Chain A
Amino acid sequence: MNGPVLEIPVNGPVLEICDLSINYQTDHGALRALRNVNLTVPKGKIVGIVGESGCGKSTLISAIIRLLAPNARIAGGVVQFRGNDLLKLSPEQMRNLRGDEISMVFQDPMTSLNPVLTIGRQMADVQHRSSSSRAAKNTRSLQMLERVGIADPETQLRRYPHHLSGGMRQRVAIAMALMAEPSLLIADEPTTALDATLEVQIIKRLRELQHDFGCSILFISHHLGVIAELCDEVVVMYAGEVVESGAMREVFSAPQHPYTQKLLDCDPARIAQKTRRLPVIEGNLPSLVHLPEGCIFKDRCTLSLPRCATERPRLLGRLPGSGQTAPVSVSGTPHRSACHLLEEPA
């Protein structure tokens, strides 16, 4: 490998984001896309990020892999990846990490794969760091295709992306991302372009591969069902802030933040009784250029208190109704939320 080699400690969380804030420079002023975001991806865990359009999911991923738009400014914070602050690495050091220690599966496999190269050529190209022979690389590609459950891999290597079905393409993309056995896989809505049966296939495959390779996965989706099926932990984002985080089961079965509660209520899958009037969250996202004071969700919240208008709630682990600090739960992951209501007596 060329360039400076990073020292990578073995223990501790794979990824730890502390107090990350990112602004975009626009003609109307700074758009504050991320504000004081905290997130931890423990070793060997699958962490899901849920949030609607405009919540900052994409900005967050771009910051981790350092592919932010030119008008983005990092206003503060640290992105610790196995002991190194990614925000301080040189472009060359960062390039050495991408595709090797951190890799990514994108939303649309048709646009992330090159349409004019065969699958085999693309899979060999991904192994550019390896000094092994072409034949050895080919064997490795075959093995990876088998691992992701693609039948007749030898034939598939000679084919082009348009020959494959959507589900196969996404599995090829996953095979390529896992080729270097990264310690962190970032998957950005990888099942959005797929149908229910294929979605389940991919989720199951990701779980198996995560188990086999022992990597951590940061999984981004706005599909609550997929997050519930796949993730160990979940982070809920709204308008550039983390509003709730914790073990998936705890957040989904006992959501603390009013936004999480409303989001779950809106999911037609969770409404048992057939209805023609589906619930919605009234109101719109706040402007991120002229940021409102206090809680970011207060204008759409039906439970807001006077202090919500002035005081921004911090992300804390609290016992509902008492305001006391919650003991760390059975799962070992603290259940945190950013809401004043939790401090009010029930």
Chain B
Amino acid sequence: MSALLKVRDLRVRYPLGSGFSKIAGKQPAFVDVVHGVSLSIHRGETVAIVGESGSGKTTLALALCGLAPVFAGEVQIDGQTVPQDSKQQLQPDRKRVALMFQDPVGSLSPRMTVRKLLAEPFQIHGIKNQDPDFEALQLLSLVGLGEDFADRYPHQLSGGQARRVGLARALALRPDILIADEPTAGLDVSIQGEVLNLLSHLQQEMGLGILIITHNLNIVRHVADRMAIMYLGRFVEQGDSEQIFRSPRHPYTAALLSANPSADPSAQKQRIELQGEVPSLLHRPSGCEFHTRCPRAQQQCREVFPALSEGPGQQFYHCYHPM
């Protein structure tokens, strides 16, 4: 089966600063927030991206939706390359990739009712032939909210309800791919389950490909078929999520998985402790970016970035000295 979404060597580059610092050459002129990422998502599949804040997860999501500039690389939907030259060309493809924003209340206009918020995607894409009221109510029932929510304003919604409205908006145009940026951040454990169960229910019903961005590893273990671990704008490891949880190959993945705090007080923990700070993107380390904190780093790691290696069971990683 061919992939619904295919990303090859994607780079997102932002220009930096202005004036003197640039001329004086004190600072690089640009920063690569996403540094050559390749990824594919199939219909009905859930892929998770995990990584620390600032590793480029959200920027990658924005780039896939056409909301951040793609500097290099290719995005394909159903085998068709998405043109990145102009906004007009991008418009039809934007319908197919929907984003559920990270901040559920902040992403909804405070001056619009839920009904209006749900009608907005249709207006933006110039779809007129529907009955907007009926459509809004249908979307509400799709995400498990009653009709009485249609006339509420965002400030009258709880965090979980606002997430559901965000999801309804994302699904309005029947996308093929849903990108959920931290769909459970700030939610209580009991409500977190509701949102994730809803996502997996809708996935089965609509055959969505889902990309979940999170730093909650406990969720990833339950919902993701495949996962990618991001560090300073690169995927350091990627593969089947059960396989990675069982035997991580990249030392960063291993440290991340071992750090996960457990609510079981009797659990015995073999922690891999990372030393040092996360380097700044402005001063990207040479060679393998992780060498400054890696317990296994050798001379070679400081010089040349390791090529992609493949382990058993479709597990891909960039490391000279895997676990």
Whole-angstrom distance from the CB of A339 to the nearest CB of chain B?
Answer: 18
Chain A residue with minimal CB distance to B199?
Answer: A276
Which of A203, A225, A274, A280 is within 8 Å of B263, CB to CB? A225
Query: How many residues on chain B are close to A (CB under 8 Å)?
Result: 41
Q: Please, which residues of chain A bring their CB within 8 A of the CB of B217?
A: 196
Answer whether A166 and B159 are a contact pair too, CB < 8 Å, given A225-B260, A276-B222.
Answer: no
- State which residues 254-274 of B face A: CB under 8 Å: 255-256, 259-266, 271, 274
Q: Is the CB of B259 within 8 A of A167?
A: no
- What is the interface residue range for chain A against chain B? 35 or more
If A165-B54, A278-B196 touch, whether A196 touches B260 (CB-CB below 8 Å) is yes
Q: Are A195 and B52 in contact (CB under 8 A)?
A: yes
Q: Which residues of B contact A253 (CB under 8 A)?
A: 265-266
Provide the bound-state CA to CA distance between A81 and B190, in Å.
Answer: 34
- Asked if residues B222 and A263 are in contact (CB atoms below 8 Å), the reply is no
Alpha-carbon distance A195/B259, docked complex (angstroms): 9
Are A225 and B262 neighbours in the complex by a CB distance under 8 Å? yes
A252 to B190, CA, bound (A): 17
A200 x B259 contact (CB < 8 A) = yes
Answer whether residue B302 sits at the interface, using C-beta atoms and an 8 A cutoff: no
Within 8 A of B (CB), among A148-175: 151, 165-168
Establish whether residues B264 and A252, one from each chain, have CB atoms under 8 Å apart when the complex forms: yes
CB distance B190 to A200 under 8 Å?
no
Question: In the complex, are the beta carbons of B261 and A278 less than 8 A apart?
Answer: no
Shortest CB-to-CB span from A197 to chain B, Å, is 5
- Assess whether A280 is in contact with B193, with CB atoms less than 8 Å apart: yes
Q: Check B193 against A228 for contact (C-beta < 8 Å).
A: no
Contacts of A225 in B (CB 8 A): 218, 260-263
Interface flag for B221 (CB, 8 Å): yes
Q: What are the interface flags for A204-233 relative to B under an 8 Å C-beta threshold, 1 for contact and 0 otherwise?
A: 000000000000000000111111110000
A200 and B222 within 8 A (CB): no
A189, chain B: closest CB distance, angstroms: 10
Tell whether B276 is near chain A: CB-to-CB under 8 Å. Answer: yes
Tell me the bound Cα distance from A279 to B196 in angstroms: 10
| Complexed CA–CA distance, A252 and B261 (Å) | 14
Q: Is A271 interfacial (CB-CB < 8 Å)?
A: yes
The reply to whether A151 and B263 contact each other, CB–CB distance below 8 Å, is no
Q: Is A266 an interface residue (CB 8 A)?
A: yes
Contact yes or no, A199 B265, CB < 8 A: no
Answer whether residue B133 sits at the interface, using C-beta atoms and an 8 A cutoff.
no
When distances are taken between beta carbons in the complex, the residues of chain A under 8 Å from B274 are 197, 201
CB neighbours of A223 from chain B (8 A)? 261
Which of A192, A226, A278 is in CB contact (< 8 Å) with B193? A278
State whether the Cβ of B219 lies closer than 8 Å to any Cβ in chain A.
Answer: yes
Which residues of chain A come closer than 8 Å to B222, judged between CB atoms? Answer: 268, 271, 274-276, 278
* Given A52-B189, A197-B256, A267 and B218 contact (CB-CB distance below 8 Å): yes
Pairwise interchain contact A267-B53, C-beta atoms closer than 8 A: no
- Indicate if A290 sits at the interface (CB-CB under 8 A): no
Question: For the complex, what is the distance from the CA of A249 to the CA of B264, rounded to whole Å?
Answer: 9
Which residues of A117-149 are within 8 A (CB) of B?
Answer: none
Pick the contact of A280: B158, B197, B223 (CB < 8 A): B197
Subset of 13 A-B contacts with CB under 8 Å: A151-B276, A151-B277, A195-B52, A196-B217, A197-B259, A225-B261, A227-B263, A263-B190, A266-B190, A267-B218, A268-B218, A269-B263, A280-B191
Interface residues of B, Cβ cutoff 8 Å to A: 51-54, 158-159, 186, 188-194, 196-197, 200, 215-219, 221-223, 242, 255-256, 259-266, 271, 274, 276-278
Extra A-B contacts (7), CB below 8 Å, given A200-B261, A268-B219: A195-B53, A196-B256, A197-B255, A224-B263, A227-B263, A264-B263, A276-B200
